[in-house]
Structure 1
Amino acid sequence: MTAPSNTWLYGLVPAGRPVPPGLSGVADEPVRVIAGPGIAAVAGSVPRADFEEEPLHAHLEDAAWLERAARAHHQVVATLARSGPTLPMRFATIYRDDQRAATMLDSRRDELLAALRRITGRTEWGVKVFLVRPSNAAYDTGANDRASGEPRPGTAYLLRRKAQREDQQQIMGRALDDAEDIHAALSASAAESTRHPVQSMEASGRGEPMLLNGAYLIDDGHSSAFGRTLDELTAGHPELRVEATGPWPSYSFSGVGAEPEGG
């Protein structure tokens, strides 16, 4: 007897487009197509025992499981995107069965087709901007005082510390303005752009503050021009570290807001 399963959605594609052979999903399941009116969902059957609300919540709190599943989900989406227009679905978009997923395709047909047209012939690029920290020695007044052998009067020390804080605030303010200029220039080269929340240094694993976490939807024919703009901006801001990744499927611009069903 086959164990009951839920339907996990990976992406939406134009109706009639075949799925590349050999694709498997988050539960090592083969993926397939659920047909809709003019649009189709690429989906997989995942065991209900692992993908109902409570067990799924437990999985999502397991970092190792989450990394494996996210990689598997992305692998399916990326493979689909290489073979044609693909609207990525949010990770863990789950329906009770194929029929409910097909009902969603039918009820939201116009919205989904418009979103698919919007990302056709375009890919996403991500750009992060970090402030390259000045040498700590430049701010270590205690080290300067010790090196000079001079005493450190309390009032003078506090005044110097105040001046240093003000200098650092000015540096950060200028860097944030420069990051805004970079975002504006890149947005002008993009069909669409958006900003994600910047990550803390702990989350990014970097020793530099993140100033911009942007995503840009670029026409396939304009990717070289976008790259040149990025190179010019990088060269013009040596105090910043500008890092680009891509091309990606259009995760940030699907705009469909599909909600997973509860068990």
Structure 2
Amino acid sequence: MASTRIVPDYLYLYGVILAEELQDSEVPSIMGIDGELIKIKIHKELAAIITPVNADSFSQQQIDLQLKDPEWLKEKAFHHHEMISVIHKHFTVLPMSFCTVFQNIDNLEVVLHEQYSDLFDKLLSLKGQQEWNVKIYSNKEKTLSHIQFHHPPVVELKEKIPSMPKGKQFIMKKKLEQLIASQVELEQAKWWQEINNELTPYVTAANYRKIWSREVTERTDDMMVNCDFLVEIEAAPRFFHKIQELRLIYEEFGCTFQLTGPWPPYHFSKTVKETL
């Protein structure tokens, strides 16, 4: 009679929270990524949020294959994000990357032990904080118009051109166009420096992200800024108010602000090594 190979479950790690916060709130009883209830593994002052997963389905080799399946990736990645968002509503959470899997509880305990200080210190630094993302888009036509009428060298050259000989006017108009175009990035950089300086008193940390193209944003204006901010919960109302003030100020320059959050602190948790 052929024997059936029994493979112990692996453990899927969503994130780590402060164990002391379990005294004030319970982890919701919800299904994990592979249909099993989520569980808690306590290690000193840390609590790992885990769920059993099938070892064959969540081996590294199988994960690598599944990542090529858009439907599987969309479903599982969405679940991972939603789970961390639920945890974040109740606890200070240090989120792990999608598909952080351990072969057994011993391996998880080793990581919690070896990285204990880093994990605990990072969680303490995130306590009472929220992540917010600010995207700023710029309408190029409005930016060019602003430069044309407010940038001193441009205004000066514009005023001089009509009094120049006809032949020279053609050359200087081309020079004027080049001067205006060259000022776009400089002007936008100046605006962002001013905006950033205004926001700095209200934030704990900032993380600058890649600028997305129009093909990605599906907008007609250009992304100028893509930045994550870590903000204390108590400071959040003042942060929002300042964003609103800046939105009104820079609207005349062609800038549009997009604020989203609060998010789990994905972009302020990257110093932690996730060792399988």
Shorter-chain TM-score bucket reads 0.7 to 0.9
How many residue pairs get aligned? The number is 243
The CA distance in 2 between the partners of 1:193 and 1:26, in whole Å, is 31
Residue 98 of structure 1 corresponds to: 105
Q: Cα RMSD between the aligned structures? A: 2.5
Q: 1:125 touches 1:215 (CA, 8 Å); kept in 2?
A: yes
The CA distance in 2 between the partners of 1:159 and 1:22, in whole Å, is 71
TM-superposed deviation, 1:225: 0.2
Q: 2:118 touches 2:272 (CA, 8 Å); kept in 1?
A: no
Match of residue 94, structure 2, among 87, 91, 101: 87
Residue 181 of structure 1 corresponds to: 194
Residue 69 of structure 1 corresponds to: 76
Which aligned pairs between 1:1-263 and structure 2 lie closer than 5 A? 3-15=7-19, 17=22, 19-134=26-141, 163-164=176-177, 166-238=179-251, 239-261=254-276
Structure-2 change in CA distance of 1:229 and 1:52 (3 Å):
same
Structure with greater Cα Rg: 2
Aligned partner of 1:236: which letter?
A: I
SS in 2 for 1:51: coil
TM-superposed deviation, 1:257: 2.5
The CA distance in 1 between the partners of 2:181 and 2:70, in whole Å, is 36
* Structure 1: gaps of 5 or more residues: 139-155
The CA distance in 1 between the partners of 2:34 and 2:94, in whole Å, is 21
Q: 2:96 touches 2:274 (CA, 8 Å); kept in 1?
A: no
SS in 1 for 2:39: strand
Structure-2 change in CA distance of 1:5 and 1:111 (3 Å):
same
Structure-2 change in CA distance of 1:24 and 1:260 (3 Å):
farther
TM-superposed deviation, 1:205: 2.8
Q: 1:5 touches 1:47 (CA, 8 Å); kept in 2?
A: yes
Q: Which TM-score applies when normalising by structure 2? A: 0.78
Runs of 4+ in 1 over 6 A off after TM superposition: 156-162
SS in 2 for 1:199: coil
SS in 1 for 2:140: coil
Q: Which TM-score applies when normalising by structure 1? A: 0.82
The CA distance in 2 between the partners of 1:77 and 1:235, in whole Å, is 34
The CA distance in 2 between the partners of 1:68 and 1:86, in whole Å, is 22
* Structure 2: gaps of 5 or more residues: 146-168
Q: 1:90 touches 1:258 (CA, 8 Å); kept in 2?
A: no
SS in 2 for 1:90: coil
Deviates most, 74-83 or 61-70: 61-70
